[in-house]
Amino acid sequence: MGQAATSILLLLIRYLFAILEDMPKRYLGEMELMVLLAVVRLGDEAYGVPISKELLDLAGREVSLGSIYAALDRIEQKGFVTSSLGDPTPERGGRAKRYFRVTSTGVRALKMTRSALTNLWSGIPLLEGRRS
């Protein structure tokens, strides 16, 4: 990579970090991003077990339910999802499922994250199958 390309990449990275700093608690970590995408994909059936299955099937990631619920709690605190309790069922020992839905803020966060990652990935010859 030439000096000009390196300078442009560094400016882009600084710009993206400046955006992230202006959005306290509004960025998505890797696990939060994957869990939020699973919530969107599952729609009305988004709760712990199906989210775990979605991450295993689509991302090849075996994630404990505790880790999934920790990520769900974080993204709920950030306003990216809301949760509600379903009806208790005998199969669950009388416990209710906690369902999650993405919010409009969550959709915006996903779009911003996709844009930021796309910008970071673009123009890197090694990652685009080219030599520098």
pLDDT score of 24: 46
Domain 3-128 carries which CATH code?
1.10.10.10
Percentages of the chain per state (helix, strand, coil), in multiples of 5: 65, 10, 25
Entry pTM: 0.75
Q: What is the pLDDT of residues 91-120, one digit of tens each?
A: 777 788 999 999 999 999 999 999 988 888
Q: Is the pLDDT of residue 35 over 90?
A: yes
pLDDT score of 1: 63
Q: Is the pLDDT of residue 132 over 70?
A: no
pLDDT score of 72: 97
Distance (Å) of CA 112 to CA 20, 27, 59, 68: 10, 9, 21, 22
